[in-house]
Amino acid sequence: MKLKLYVGTRKGLFTVERTAMDEWRIEHPPAFLGEPVTMFLQDPRNGDRYAALNLGHFGVKLFRAASGGEEWREIAVPAYPVDTDGEGPSLLQIWELVPGGPAQPDRLWAGTIPGGLFRSDDRGDSWTLVESLWQRPEREFWFGGGYEAAGIHSICVHPGDSDRLSLAISCGGIWESDDGGANWQQTGKGLRAAFLPPEQAYEPVSQDPHRMVRCAAKPERLWVQHHNGIFRSDDGGRTFTEIEDVQPSVFGFAVAVHPHDPDIAWFVPGIKDQYRVPVDGRLVVTRTRDGGSSFEAIYEGLPDAPAYDLVYRHGLDVDASGDVLAFGSTTGGLWVSEDQGDSWRCLSAHLPPINLVRFTG
Amino acid sequence: MATLAFTRHLDRYLDCPPQTVEAGTVADALALALEANPRLAGYLLDDQRRLRRNVAIFVDGRQIRDRRHLSDALDADSKIYVLQALSGG
């Protein structure tokens, strides 16, 4: 099967196909032309594809295309229960969508803004709010990071135990369940938020992990690109080690981990807090090959300054081989690498703002 | 009978042609339309069944006053338009 890259943008879902080594073709016009695509999933268990849209005027929608088919059909969207006084929350965005484990072939998990985790056991035909997390008293202390409300943007299912889930929340820290979502515990000891008052800096519930990924081959290894920097866990997210002094910056949104080698991870950094642009206006990818002991800053194939591309949480991905990577920017630039990030090639500098990139095949 | 028409922008997503309804309030008129077309509810109302913030309803050329409960009264031949608020980008 040819390698495909799906690119979710402010104006639709583009499909990019690798037609041969170093040859890529962007198909256009995109699916859902004109609509913001906030999440995409191709379920590796059955090939079904899902696209989450945020229509703005008319709310959040979810579409599914059956494996091999081109027809997108609207399906149910996660919905918050109706409050008796009608003042309750409403879905603002689907920010994460992942398949359940091999033992749960029809299960999907959705992370949303304003902070609800939803489960489907029928391929998205219906959804249930996971009340066990929603009702945790600590949720009072969650707050929005870049959006008006907190959101779940990273859901990592343990590949060897479908009932073990780890979530990352902006801003609500990291949470774990080992019983399929029936019970939850706050984890993430060691995460540090320098922007908080000193006595709050290590408070787990106050952390803003921008993105969390799990190594498929070594599931206890998690990488987090946090608001405050880069963190690594070797115990499934219970504790983290901060990695400092990464040049040119430890700030960013996206992280990808090699699926077979837990020590290899990639980041696309920027200047922190109010700026959120590449350092010195020069786009760069940073990579570690030794678990974070050292990093390389890779510029090969990336544009010279001025290049003010910012890469969001889901804007970086690595394929199943670990050799091919892609990232897309909020200014519509799309780059690929076929050598584990040694060098990059721009496929387009003129796409709509990119929310996410996802490899399939 | 009052008439109820929807922005043509909705045609991209679902079938909702203009229709006639016998109703005393905007809420009643909308309830009849949504009963016949349940998918339409997700486009006009949020999870709490509130009118979406960027959806506007006009009755006989005037924007409704009660966005929360849609209690604005209709005349027998009122014309109701459900529109999207304009935004950029």
Q: What is the DSSP string of A29-97?
A: EEETTTS-EEEEEE-TTT--EEEEEE-STT-EEEEEE-TT----EEE----PPPPTTS------EEEEE
Distance, CA of A191 to CA of A178 (rounded, Å): 21
| Long-range pairs of A161-165 with CB within 8 A, sequence gap ≥ 24 | A161/A101, A162/A100, A162/A101, A162/A102, A162/A103, A162/A104, A162/A107, A163/A101, A164/A236, A165/A109
A82 contacts chain B (CB < 8 A): yes
Residue A20 lies inside a defined structural domain of this protein? no
Cβ-count burial of A237 within 10 angstroms (0-12 exposed, 13-18 middle, 19+ buried)? buried
Residue A92 lies inside a defined structural domain of this protein? yes
Distance, CA of B72 to CA of B30 (rounded, Å): 12
Residue A285 lies inside a defined structural domain of this protein? yes
Distance, CA of A270 to CA of A243 (rounded, Å): 16
Distance, CA of A19 to CA of A7 (rounded, Å): 17
Averaged pLDDT for residues B48-66: 95
Q: Which residues contact A140 (CB under 8 A, 6 or more apart)?
A: none
Query: Which residue on chain A is closest to B47 by alpha carbon?
Result: A90
| Alpha carbon of B70: minimum distance to chain A alpha carbons (Å) | 14
B15 contacts chain A (CB < 8 A): no
Q: Name the average pLDDT for chain A.
A: 96
Residue A27 lies inside a defined structural domain of this protein? no
Q: Residue B39: its chain A contacts at CB < 8 A?
A: 74
Domains in chain A: how many in total? 1
- Report the CATH number at residue A130: 2.130.10.10
* pLDDT at A100 (0 to 100): 97
Distance, CA of A145 to CA of A173 (rounded, Å): 11
What domains can be seen in chain B, in order of their start residue? 2-84 (3.10.20.30)
Q: Are A230 and A190 in contact (CB under 8 A)?
A: no
| Alpha carbon of A78: minimum distance to chain B alpha carbons (Å) | 9
The answer on pLDDT for A14 being more than 80 is yes
Per-residue pLDDT reduced to its tens digit, A82-108: 998 878 999 999 999 999 998 899 999
A103 contacts chain B (CB < 8 A): no
The size of the A-B interface in CB pairs under 8 A is: 52
Averaged pLDDT for residues B38-52: 96
> Which H or E run contains A183?
none
Per-residue pLDDT reduced to its tens digit, A105-138: 999 999 999 999 999 999 999 999 999 999 999 9
Single-letter amino acid, residue A91: L
Sheet containing B2-6, strands listed edge to edge, beginning at the edge strand earlier in sequence: B19-21, B2-6, B79-84, B55-59, B62-63
* pLDDT at B13 (0 to 100): 92
Q: Which domain holds residue A314?
A: 35-80+88-360
Q: Which two tokens stand for residue A242?
A: 């901060």
End-to-end Cα, chain A, rounded Å: 6
Mapping DSSP to helix (H, G, I), strand (E, B) and coil, where does residue A139 land? helix
Name which of A9, A10, A58, A77 to mutate to probe chain B: the one with the most chain B Cβ atoms within 10 A of its Cβ.
A58
Q: Which two tokens stand for residue A18?
A: 């690798």
Residue A12 lies inside a defined structural domain of this protein? no
Averaged pLDDT for residues A312-320: 98
Residue A218 lies inside a defined structural domain of this protein? yes
Distance of CA A267 to the CA centre of its chain: 12
Per-residue pLDDT reduced to its tens digit, A273-302: 788 999 999 999 999 999 999 999 999 999
Residue A22 lies inside a defined structural domain of this protein? no
Which of B39, B50, B84 is opposite residue A57, by nearest beta carbon? B84
Helix (H) and strand (E) counts in chain A: 1, 28
Provide ipTM, 2 decimals.
Answer: 0.92
Distance of CA A242 to the CA centre of its chain: 20
* pLDDT at A32 (0 to 100): 97
In degrees, to the nearest 5, what angle opens at C-alpha A58 toward C-alphas A39 and A6?
Answer: 20
The answer on pLDDT for B88 being more than 80 is no
A202 contacts chain B (CB < 8 A): no
Query: Which residue on chain A is closest to B51 by alpha carbon?
Result: A58
Secondary structure letter of residue B36 according to DSSP? H
Averaged pLDDT for residues A335-356: 98
* pLDDT at A90 (0 to 100): 97
Cβ-count burial of B86 within 10 angstroms (0-12 exposed, 13-18 middle, 19+ buried)? exposed
The answer on pLDDT for B89 being more than 70 is no
Residue A115 lies inside a defined structural domain of this protein? yes
The answer on pLDDT for B86 being more than 70 is no
Q: Are A115 and A172 in contact (CB under 8 A)?
A: yes
Largest CA distance in chain A: 58
The answer on pLDDT for A19 being more than 70 is yes
Note whether A59 contacts B43, CB cutoff 8 Å: yes
